[in-house]
Amino acid sequence: MGIPIIRTVAELRSIVAVWRRDGLKVAVVPTMGALHEGHLSLVRAGLAKADRVIVTLFVNPKQFNSPADLIAYPRTEYDDAAKLAPLGAHILYAPDAADIYPQGFATTVSVSGVSAGLCGTFRPGHFDGVATVVTKLFLETGADMGFFGEKDFQQLHVVRRLVGDLDIPIKIVACPTVREGDGLAMSSRNARLSAPERRAAPRLAEILFETARRLNCEDCIDRVLDEARQAILAAGFSQVEYLELRTGEDLAVIAIPNRPARLLVAAWLGQTRLIDNAEVWSRGSVQGFVQAAAAA
């Protein structure tokens, strides 16, 4: 049997109200569709913790800072529904933009601090768009738990912050990044890579993890990061937007990884912008590397 596709908030609320009356725990997995194993890992995690899982599919125009990127974003609702049904997800909530942002919509949820820097610098307005739609999806679904990928590490922090600040009664659960067999972090945007770009793309993760391992020194950080930027360019990427060390807990800038930290990167390969991140510990160990095969 297929997964029910719900288009309106009224319909969604009436279904969730029945679940709530029955005392069921509800999870939400927000996505923009073009589902891959990374998304499906969140759905599985949701199914393991909650009684009902709502997957949302909304290509949110407010979080695209480039109109061309919005137009080019893959839209594969039929295939997405077919991938979700066998997992046992309960609802695919796929509202129209006109329902999410009706005429006269004038509210923006803006999270300062963790939204600044990294993707916030290179994608102006992006996190306002994310925060606004995620807030709406939390309020519309009334979910007890929300599942997010560490792949979008800064987004995860933005969501945690807004939930805390606005007292939204939802628990945010972070799930590790799922990767292709060659290490490339899965992303809906990977489909846009040409064959030669796809061959070059895994170098980003390789360099990221290698660099994270090399950051266990106090006086070499700048040099190691610089060498990594050069290596990414040498691998065929045209631009490194950022390669930065931050604290894992609150994304604060740190000069040396003297506490649990993350190394975050964004780089352009042809017309495609790829992001990734790796955990860095002061003792130099690196975690968070989950192969697609292990998650399947």
Which residues have a catalytic role annotated? 39
Nearer to ligand AMP, 77 or 227 (CB): 77
* Minimum distance, C-beta of residue 290 to ligand AMP, in the bound complex (Å): 8
Q: Is 135:162 a contact under the CB 8 Å cutoff? A: yes
CB 186 to ligand AMP: min, Å: 3
Distance of CA 269 to the CA centre of its chain: 19
Q: How far apart are CA 160 and CA 165, in angstroms?
A: 9
Q: Are 226 and 213 in contact (CB under 8 A)?
A: no
Whose Cβ is closer to ligand AMP: residue 188's or residue 216's? Answer: 188
Output the smallest distance, CB 180 to ligand AMP, in A.
Answer: 9
Cβ at position 281, least distance to ligand AMP in Å: 21
Dihedral Cα 41, 45, 47, 48, nearest 10 deg: 140
Q: β-pairing, 91-93 with 145-149?
A: unpaired
Helix (H, G, I), strand (E, B) or coil at 128: helix
Q: For tokens 């980003």, what's the residue?
A: 204
Smallest separation, CB 252 to ligand AMP (Å): 21
- DSSP, residue by residue, 44-75: HHHHHH-SEEEEEE---GGG-S-HHHHHHS--
Measured from the CB atom, the residue of 142 and 288 that comes closer to ligand AMP is: 288
- Picking from 34, 37, 39, 35, the residue whose alpha carbon sits closest to that of residue 75 is 34
Rounded distance, CA 63 to CA 207, Å? 28
Reading the block at residue 17, the tokens are 């109200």
Q: Which residue's C-beta sits nearest to ligand AMP? A: 149
Name the minimum Å distance from CB 26 to ligand AMP: 17
Find the angle CA(44)-CA(48)-CA(49) to the nearest 5 degrees: 120
Decide whether 41 or 115 has the Cβ nearer to ligand AMP: 41
User: Which residues are near ligand AMP by CB under 6 A?
Assistant: 31-32, 38-39, 41-42, 148-149, 151-152, 175, 177-178, 185-188
Which is nearer to ligand AMP, 164 or 284 (by Cβ)? 164
Which residue, 127 or 148, is less far from ligand AMP as judged by CB?
A: 148
Backbone dihedral region for residue 58 (phi beyond 0: left; psi -120 to 50: alpha; all else: beta)? beta
Percent of the chain as helix, strand, coil, to the nearest 5: 45, 20, 35
